[in-house]
Amino acid sequence: MNAAKCVIALVAFLLTCVPAFAADAIKIGAILSVTGPASFLGEPEKNTLIMLQDQLNAAGGVNGQQVEVIVYDDESDVNKCVMAAKKLLDQDQVAVVIGPSISGNTLAISKFFSSAEVPLVSCAAAEKIVRPVDPWVFNTPQLDRHAVTRILQDAKAKGYSRLAILTVSDGYGQAGRGVLKELIPAQGFELAADEVYGPKDTDMTAQLTKIKGAGADAIICWGTNPGPAVVARNRVQLGLTVPLYMSHGVASNKFIELAGDAAEGLILPAGRLVAVEQVPADHPQKAVLEAYVEGYTKTYGTQISSFGGYAHDAFALVMEAIAKGGSAKSADIRDNLEKISGFAGTSGVYTYSPENHNGLDESAFIMVTIENGAWKALN
């Protein structure tokens, strides 16, 4: 036998070995926006999943089985997301899929999961993902409705009656705008102004001037970085003293860095992840929050973002469902996800049911403010 034949034989041997070896691991798919405009979501989510996979496998896996996470980057693009979903379902034959990072992409692919009968645990927040309930689709982030409820509770306590809203014209902002326009009149407030800005806009003084003219008691801004930082800066630059609420979409240290001094005193609802050390020691989320923050900062040497927490919770919930049912079959994972109750994650305490595939309520949010460049929990 000559050398070339040896090599071919070796390769052939290895090829037959690999599938047999890989069959032992539970395959979990993930579609995340690691690059593109939504990379601020997808990148920490990917890092989180890889870290959790390594931690779990090092600790012996789940039910004695190793876990293999297959991550595809959809580049924040809906077409690439659809292709990745098909690849995971047809080619990789995964048991369950985590992601996508953004709502539009989740809605675009959710129907494939119902027909393939594979559960999808999305890291995107839109209410449409889980209402009405699709038996195969779950999500982990807090809903916009919970955030708006918390803001309006705060506004009511402070005696505001006329509220202005300033929302970004992308999916996140318009979903928030819909909920705001529904809940503001329903809770007895008056909508003083309804302004919009573009995701790439760099100046919102025109909108703020208009809001100033409308005489609002408080402004609610709904967007993700960097837009809200511009709003905060423009508000100070125009000399406005009207209180400004932000959404949970800016609950990261990047926002404080971008807005600088203009961030001082702003109020927003946020998951407990932004102020871990201020969470009381007896709170059910305390241990999981600390473990996540410590693991992430140690592994990647960068600060955590609350967006990575959505992937953390998706992974933890799937593992809980697999451990609970003792099975990694798609249908069993789905059934056992619905049985999860009182499970502490980074974003809140999850209780899924056949009618509720989000699992959280407004208690998942705390109101925080920014004081001396740091997050401070409000009581």
Q: Which is nearer to another protein, 44 or 119 (CB)?
A: 44
Q: How far is the CB of 226 from another protein (least distance, A)?
A: 4
Q: Which is nearer to another protein, 305 or 346 (CB)?
A: 305
Q: Which is nearer to another protein, 337 or 370 (CB)?
A: 370
Q: Which is nearer to another protein, 36 or 135 (CB)?
A: 36
Q: Are 293 and 304 in contact (CB under 8 A)?
A: yes
Helix 39-58 to helix 306-325 angle (10° resolution) is: 40
Strands (DSSP E) contained in the chain are 26-32, 67-73, 96-98, 120-122, 137-139, 162-168, 190-197, 218-222, 244-246, 267-270, 343-344, 349-350, 366-371, 374-377
**How far is residue 219's CA from residue 242's CA, in Å, rounded to a whole number?**
7
Q: How far is the CB of 197 from another protein (least distance, A)?
A: 6
Q: How far is the CB of 240 from another protein (least distance, A)?
A: 9
Q: Which is nearer to another protein, 114 or 169 (CB)?
A: 169
Q: Are 51 and 315 in contact (CB under 8 A)?
A: no
Residues 6+ apart with CB under 8 A from 134: 110, 113, 114, 357
Q: How far is the CB of 256 from another protein (least distance, A)?
A: 11
Footprint of another protein on this chain (CB under 8 A)? 35, 37, 39-40, 43, 169, 195-198, 200, 202-203, 205-207, 209-210, 212-213, 225-226, 229-230, 236-239, 254, 257-258, 260-261
Residues 6+ apart with CB under 8 A from 60: none
Q: Which is nearer to another protein, 255 or 343 (CB)?
A: 255
Q: How far is the CB of 237 from another protein (least distance, A)?
A: 5
- Per-residue HEC secondary structure of 275-320 comes to HHHHCCCCCCCHHHHHHHHHHHHHHHCCCCCHHHHHHHHHHHHHHH
Q: Which is nearer to another protein, 162 or 324 (CB)?
A: 162
CA-based nearest residue to 354, from 139, 141, 135, 98? 135
Q: How far is the CB of 102 from another protein (least distance, A)?
A: 15
Q: How far is the CB of 309 from another protein (least distance, A)?
A: 19
